[in-house]
Amino acid sequence: MSCQIPAPSVATATINERLLSLDAFRGFVIGAMLLVNMTWNESVFPRQFFHVPWNDPQQGATFADLVFPWFLFIVGASIPFSMESRIRVGLSTARIVSSAARRAMILYLLGVLLTVAGTATTHPLSWQNLLQWNILQLIGAAYFVAICVWLLPTQWRIGFVFLVLIGRWVTMEVPSWETANELIVTRAPTDAPLGPGTWAHFDALRRIYSLEHLQPSVWRTFFGWFGASQEYLPGAAIAVLGGFTSSALAAQRTYHGAIRVVLAGAALVLVGFILQGNYQPTGGGLLGEITIPFSKWFFSPAYCLLAAGTGMLLFVAFFIVIDLKRWTTAWWLRVWGMNALALYVAAELSFKMVFSKWLIRLPSGGSDSLASGYLAWVEHSTGSPAIAGWSFVLGWLVMWWLVCWWLYRRGIFLRV
């Protein structure tokens, strides 16, 4: 990571002028990520703060399920600005790709660090840790693919999005394949419903995508890593749609341009709901056997369209308020947004290595982690698990906002 102190710039009407709304949107999403990561008591917090159980026939999408793809959308929305600045200074395509590869690798390795941070004290490190996918690893891979796609002509970018989503739709009919059915039968109850459109055993389908049926086990680990393309390629498609959105808003900074983005976002959301309309866990729905549910686990086409469409609508809302109306009340979100990656890494590392590891005494006389101990003491003092839960979450958000505010005031922005 590097510390960059941005030089003052002259505002222009070109695409390379920074959209303040993009920084605010990024701040909103990273704040939402911190929020949903800290809400673990379903009796206290709203249902929308919790993920839909992914290995569950019900499927669906909550607010928590959309936060990660919104971040991918924002990663893509930043690409046109960075790309134009690199082309303007004369960087070759090879240099742009190599720079993107370096950044993607740094993101990937940071993701590996976060993945092992909470387990390395109890489980020995292994080379296989390098092949584990998590949020930052997927962001790094999706970012690199999106950069490469953005170097292509516009029609190729559009074609990439269509091919990925349609290909994703086709491969989600895997349960109809004979070998897949055999695997499901051997790992699920014998009365498990099978056939096209059947989603009652998501975990078995995940094993198919990850090639976990391969022997020996080292093949499963290695080739299963490549199987994660079923997540990062759709993620890259979401990022490319984010790039189209920021390009449209930056090129035409008017209400007319904003309305066009609203219509596009609403259309994507509508198509997403049609694809999963009347979805049934045992197969079928509005579109018959090809009905596809909202599923974050598989980045289903319906889920990708919902995420990208709602991302467009949120982005244009910030754009109207901040870039068109020039309201300054959202500056506090930009405090988070200008150091989003550093904030996420610091928050995750500190929680996994300090707040969930260091022990304190409990009112009962035992001991537990700092986080659990705080909740126990506050609930013991107030008699309210709601006060304990909300005070912890709000305190967590305020603490990290103050850290980012300190960096913001000093013009320190930590980026890969």
Residue 259 pLDDT grade (very low, low, confident, very high; cuts 50, 70, 90):
very high
Residue 167 CB contacts under 8 Å (≥ 6 apart), including other chains: none
Three-state DSSP class for residue 361? strand
Looking at residue 5, what is its pLDDT?
33
pLDDT score for 252: 83
Taking 90 as the threshold, does the pLDDT of residue 201 lie above it?
no
Q: What would the mean pLDDT of 283-298 be, rounded to a whole number?
A: 81
Average pLDDT on 148-159 reads 96
Q: Which of 69-78, 203-212, 295-304, 357-366 has the highest mean pLDDT?
A: 69-78
Mean pLDDT is lowest, of 71-75, 134-138, 179-183, for 179-183
b/e for 95-104, b at 16 or more Cβ within 10 A? Answer: ebeeebeebb
Residue 15 above 80 pLDDT? Answer: no
Output DSSP code: residue 359: E
Residue where the block lists tokens 């014998």: 190
Q: Which residues neighbour 70 within 8 Å (Cβ) at sequence distance 6 or greater?
A: 29, 32, 307, 310, 311, 314
Specify the amino acid at residue 408.
Answer: Y
H-only helix segments in 252-384: 255-275, 301-318, 331-337, 340-350, 370-382
Which residue has 């912890």 as its token pair?
A: 392
Buried b (16+ CB within 10 A) or exposed e, 317-355: ebbbbbbbeeeeebebbbbbbbbbbbbbbebbeebbeeb
Q: What is the pLDDT of residue 79?
A: 95
CB-based contacts of 290, cutoff 8 Å, min separation 6: 169, 173, 196, 197
Lowest mean pLDDT among 162-176, 233-247, 270-284, 348-362: 162-176
Name the band, by pLDDT with cuts 50, 70 and 90, for residue 156.
Answer: very high
**Phi, psi at residue 368, to the nearest 5°?**
-160, 180
How does residue 31 score in pLDDT terms, banded at 50, 70 and 90? very high
Residue 119 confidence class, pLDDT cut points 50, 70, 90 = confident
CA 259 – CA 248 distance, rounded (Å) = 11
pLDDT of 283 > 80? The answer is no
Q: How high does pLDDT run on average in the chain?
A: 85
**pLDDT value of residue 9:** 34
- Type of residue at 161: V
pLDDT score, position 185: 44
pLDDT over 70 percentage in the chain? 81
Q: Is the pLDDT of residue 374 over 50?
A: yes
Strand partners, 359: 369
141 vs 56: CA distance, rounded Å: 27
State the pTM of this model. 0.88
Report how far apart, in Å, the C-alpha atoms of 399 and of each of 67, 336, 389 are.
21, 11, 15
Q: Under a CB-based contact definition with an 8 Å cutoff, are residues 169 and 301 in contact?
A: yes
Q: Please check whether residue 413 is in contact with residue 407, taking contact to mean a CB–CB distance below 8 angstroms.
A: yes
Confidence of residue 312 (pLDDT cuts 50, 70, 90): very high
| Structure-block tokens of residue 187 | 């790992």
Q: Work out the average pLDDT over 163-182.
A: 68
Q: Which of 76-80, 200-204, 277-281, 330-334 has the highest mean pLDDT?
A: 76-80
